[in-house]
């Protein structure tokens, strides 16, 4: 730890940089961490856009909260539900590409200062999107746009490309004891 801090101090300081952040791992907290950053960024007046690539079946609280910040927080739910429940993979791939096209447009337009690509990792690990093409677009982000990617099973290429990678470690989850998803915590 000390070594890393020390090395950082030796390097030339970079005052401002658009970051690619990745929250991955099997533990809980990836999407909610990204939402925490949204809360922080909006406090500075930064417009935030969140694209959810996989549509869950819950009525997520954050979908309602987003409506309270109509000028600062844009939330787009794309995707068709979970692929492992799907009976039509072609339609899933088409939905994934459509969702990615929207993300690409958002990056190009450069309006938002924080862009959250929620559960994007799956589209790469399942090979629904071309990893290299995605990485190229992520790298083309404007100077004042941070991007957060969340999801389990991040591909090595994405990990290599990110400036910050945090792995949520599943030490304990109430689900293992048969506790159902709790309102306000899981959805
Ligand atoms: P959250 O949205 O709560 O931050 P997450 O984004 O880290 O969770 P996902 O992989 O997107 O987690 O899974 C979403 C759902 O799965 C949530 O309801 C979450 O509580 C649940 N979950 C996350 N980790 C675990 C786990 N280790 N065991 C069981 N369920 C889990
Ligand atoms: Mg999540």
Q: What CATH number should be reported for the domain holding residue 115? A: 3.40.50.300
| Ligand 1, pocket-test mutation among 21, 26, 28, most atoms within 8 A of CB | 28
Q: Is residue 169 part of a domain?
A: no
Cβ–ligand 1 distance for 165 under 6 Å, the answer no
The minimum-distance atom of ligand 1 relative to the CA of 150 is 6
0.85 surpassed by pTM:
yes
The C-alpha atoms of residue 2 and residue 6 are separated, in whole angstroms, by 6
Nearest residue to 109 via CA among 49, 28, 60, 63: 49
Q: Is residue 50 part of a domain?
A: yes
- Judging by beta carbons within 10 Å of its beta carbon (0-12, 13-18, 19+), is residue 140 exposed, middle or buried? exposed
Q: Is residue 75 part of a domain?
A: yes
Q: How many domains does the chain have?
A: 1
Q: Is residue 163 part of a domain?
A: no
Q: Above 80 in pLDDT, residue 183? A: yes
Place of tokens 């930064």: 46
Q: Is 40 a catalytic residue?
A: yes
Provide the mean pLDDT of the chain. 91
Cβ–ligand 1 distance for 152 under 6 Å, the answer yes
Q: Is 26 a catalytic residue?
A: yes
Q: Is residue 167 part of a domain?
A: no
Cβ–ligand 1 distance for 50 under 6 Å, the answer no
Residue 34 belongs to domain spanning: 23-153
Nearest residue to 112 via CA among 69, 30, 49: 49
Q: What one-character DSSP code corresponds to residue 143?
A: T
Q: Is residue 149 part of a domain?
A: yes
The C-alpha atoms of residue 32 and residue 184 are separated, in whole angstroms, by 11
Q: Is residue 165 part of a domain?
A: no
pLDDT in tens, 48-107: 999 999 877 778 899 999 999 999 999 999 876 555 556 677 888 888 999 999 999 999
Q: Is residue 33 part of a domain?
A: yes
Q: Above 80 in pLDDT, residue 4? A: no
Residue, of 55 and 42, whose pLDDT is higher: 42
């Amino acid at each position: 730890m000390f070594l890393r801090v020390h090395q950082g101090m030796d390097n030339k300081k970079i005052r401002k940089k658009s970051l690619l952040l990745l929250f991955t791992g099997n533990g809980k907290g990836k999407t909610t961490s990204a939402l925490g950053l949204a809360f922080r960024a909006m406090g500075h007046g930064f417009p935030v856009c969140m694209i959810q690539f996989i549509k869950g079946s819950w009525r997520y609280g954050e979908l309602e909260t987003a409506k309270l910040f109509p000028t600062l927080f844009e939330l787009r739910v794309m995707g068709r539900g979970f692929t492992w429940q799907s009976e039509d993979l072609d339609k899933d791939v088409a939905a994934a590409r459509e969702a990615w096209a929207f993300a690409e447009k958002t990056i190009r337009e450069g309006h938002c200062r924080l862009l959250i690509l929620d559960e994007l990792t799956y589209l790469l690990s399942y090979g629904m999107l071309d990893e290299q093409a995605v990485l190229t677009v992520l790298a083309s982000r404007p100077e004042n746009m941070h991007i957060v990617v969340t999801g389990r099973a991040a591909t090595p290429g994405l990990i290599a490309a990110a400036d910050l990678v945090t792995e949520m470690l599943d030490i304990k989850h109430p689900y293992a004891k048969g506790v159902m998803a709790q309102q306000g915590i899981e959805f």
